[in-house]
Structure 1
């Protein structure tokens, strides 16, 4: 579960991390009113789950009412990397002299959380890690003991943070780790931590992602989940319990198992198509879950055709076939062409059950993918 910036900042502020004054706004008039109350200058920031908002026009500074209105009008409703901006965070402007990066995530190679600090804040940290990895100081933490104060100080020192602000930055890092652990976060970061002209250290941004499987331990964060959805597609995925990853193509993909879905994505690309999504319905999927999966993919306006790739182990081919039939029989007209490939447990029974008036059936995965790619191309001709 991804928190919006405004939600993460609420959590940060409650934990004692200093953040700028801010208000959420869902209309231009609300944004202007918030700016007037906070006082100029302000930053108007799109609330969407993407990085690089500033470069994409999703963050604008305003020095007065006219500029605040122009900024809100430009950002609200804009398409930002595939997401429609429905709300903005109006935030007090920060007169800064330096920008840092501070974050905590899991280092899967080491099997431990890793705390990170860099003096190259304000830019994409992935780019820094790739182009200048020595600019990021890293300190691995034993989860059995938590982060010791000396580890936070060491990470800050190794990053080259000046002595005057090192204690405040170390305090933010320690608090972030505490939140990471206590709130079941998968990653948490501030980029940038701003050093103001007055010498204050402020979290000017906030990223916090929560492990979905641990939400039952975080009831207050779970209440934020509905507001954290970017669009109806994400909301529907949450209701159905799917991890739906939207991609940039137009060939919808459904499979049972992450490896199987990844293979299908690769084949779509190999045969000249572009995958529209990643959707794994999991093992043992019953007819209702299959129906929900098709509903998900049909709801994605980017999808022009669908390939259904099922290899039966726990999942039975006849159950999948029933789900496909039940889903498609609800439509007077099938919204998008569907190609099905079944293999494994009860695959032959499933092939016999499938309503071939509603779907196209292929015996091999390669044939199924090529059919779906061709169908998508025909839609766009």
Structure 2
């Protein structure tokens, strides 16, 4: 069966990068650290700042302290001066390899003094960070997370997720954590476990043998794994990723970064957690589309699509690509859409500055083509006409009636093309070439 998740996976492999769908809750790093702390997982002491002045003040405080973890051994260490980490707070990975449009530097920076923190914060706050996982223009950074830098002896990767084929939770571990984890998938070990049984002696023995932990270190690792299972289960997580989990120069294990995914169906019992969700105006619009029953997936081209049905959406994107175009999105209106939902869909495309052409490809089965036509005409009136070329293909239930409504509207920049392939070819020809 074709699903929107399968479409996302297919196009992530063969087309432009996909941004995570809005119905999957993700947390900013400072929220993730607070959640780890709630479950007694070791994290550095950190602060969220929104101004360069706050960044300067925080680094001044941190330079006279040590990272705080649940382990009392860290709390009792003598304060020492040292550098601090400043990390851009955006919902995207790869920040350490990304670039700001202000100074070309990354979203993760090491600073040695309060004045240096002020300078870097000035070049980060209010500017856009582009990574391999952001839109082409990047994401605006409005807050920074700052914590005392940890001396790193080794980086590990620990994650929990679900294996859908095995219908089982799985623990993923590697001795090669950090920014290059994707290049070291051969070093990744899979260990299946039960949410009721948790981390067994057999799992502990395997991890110790493969990653070379001492008996003392393994006790710390076991405590971390037990708390990971507790968090994973109690918070209805679909992903809990510690990357990196580091062994510090002092022999302590510290979670420096974490990534979460949560089951959207558990929203009703995880209200506090889902209340942390933060969205840009663009993401808010997409979320509203999802609540109206419309499936939206962002791509990186400049041709917008409004289609009904996942299979037709895939075929539409393939044909546009075949003729040399690049799609800006999937937008599936489904079989039971309304004029209100379609009007919102048009607003999404109108507000997307990347879009230079739109293809509306509807095969009327359950959905009526005349209702689609009415929504097109109403949207054009609301927007003051179409400012970019629009190609419409309507086939199926009440298609003749719908096409007549469009013809009578005499809309500019709108062309009707009944044949599927010709419609795809026409919108590519009418749309400026994507650079």
Fold shared, TM-score > 0.5 on shorter chain: yes
Q: What CA distance in whole angstroms lies between the structure 2 residues aligned with 1:340 and 1:169? A: 59
Gaps of 5+ in 2: 1-24, 64-81, 99-105, 132-137
User: For residues 293 and 213 of structure 1, do their structure 2 counterparts lie closer, same or farther at Cα, with a shift above 3 Å needed?
Assistant: farther
Q: Does 1:116 align with 2:176?
A: no
CA distance in 2, matches of 1:151, 1:342: 60
Select which of 168, 172, 181 maps to 2:233. Answer: 181
**Alpha-carbon deviations, 1:120-154, whole Å to 9, x = none?**
0002433322xxx2x111112345x3534336525
1:197 aligns with 2:221: no
Aligned in 2, Cα 1:217/1:274: closer, same or farther, shift over 3 Å?
A: same
Secondary structure at 1:329 match in 2:
helix
Report matched runs for 1:168-317 at 5 Å. 168-225=220-277, 228-229=278-279, 231-241=280-290, 244-317=296-369
1:187 CA displacement = 1.6
Q: Does 1:377 align with 2:401?
A: no
Aligned equivalent of 1:79, options 129, 147, 166: 129
Identify the range of structure 1 (345-354 vs 93-102) with the bigger mean alpha-carbon deviation: 345-354
Change (3 A) 1:213 1:305: farther
In structure 2, relative to structure 1, the CA distance for the partners of 1:326 and 1:89 (3 Å cut) is same
Question: Structure 1's 266 and 171: CA in aligned 2 closer, same or farther, altered over 3 A?
Answer: farther
Alignment match, 1:7: 31
Distance, in Å, in 1 between the alignment partners of 2:162 and 2:340 is 35
Distance 1:153 1:254 in 2: 51
Cα gap change, 1:368/1:26 in structure 2, threshold over 3 Å: closer, same or farther? Answer: farther
What TM-score do you get using the length of structure 1 for normalisation? 0.90
Q: Residues 24-35 of structure 1: matches in 2 within 5 Å?
A: 24-35=48-59
Spell out, residue by residue over 1:227-271, the C-alpha distance to the aligned partner (whole angstroms, 9 max, x if none).
x22x21112112332554322211112222333222222222111
Cα separation, partners in 2 of 1:31 and 1:294, compared to 1, 3 Å? same
Match of 2:189 among 125, 137, 153: 137
Change (3 A) 1:171 1:85: same
Q: Which residue of 2 aligns with 1:105?
A: 161
Alpha-carbon separation, structure 1, partners of 2:311 and 2:143: 36
The correspondence of residues 88-99 of structure 1 with structure 2, limited to 5 A, is: 88-99=144-155
Secondary structure of the equivalent of 2:119?
Answer: helix
How far does residue 113 in structure 1 lie from its aligned partner after superposition?
Answer: 2.1
User: Could you tell me whether the CA contact under 8 Å between 2:55 and 2:114 is conserved in 1?
Assistant: no
Counterpart contact for 2:289–2:295, Cα < 8 Å: no
Q: CA deviation at 1:322?
A: 2.2
Measure, in 2, the Cα distance between the counterparts of 1:376 and 1:155. Answer: 57
Give distance in 2, aligned partners of 1:341 and 1:292.
Answer: 20
**1:32-43 to 2 correspondence within 5 Å?**
32-39=56-63, 40-43=82-85
- Alignment match of 1:59 (pick from 108, 114, 120): 108
CA distance in 2, matches of 1:291, 1:169: 53
Larger Rg: 2
Are residues 220 and 277 of structure 1, via their aligned partners in 2, closer, same or farther at CA, if it must alter by over 3 Å? same
**Residue equivalent to 2:390:** 338
Equivalent-residue separation in structure 1 for 2:183 and 2:242 (angstroms): 16
CA distance in 2 between partners of 1:315 and 1:259 (Å): 16
Matched with 1:149 is 200
Aligned length: 372
* CA deviation vs aligned residue, 1:82-102 (integer Å, no higher than 9, x gap): 212222111221111110001
Q: 1:167/1:297 Cα in 2 relative to 1: closer, same or farther (>3 Å)?
A: farther
- d(CA) in 2 for partners of 1:154, 1:256: 52
Preserved CA contact (<8 Å) 1:340 1:361: yes
Q: Does 2:421 match 1:366?
A: yes
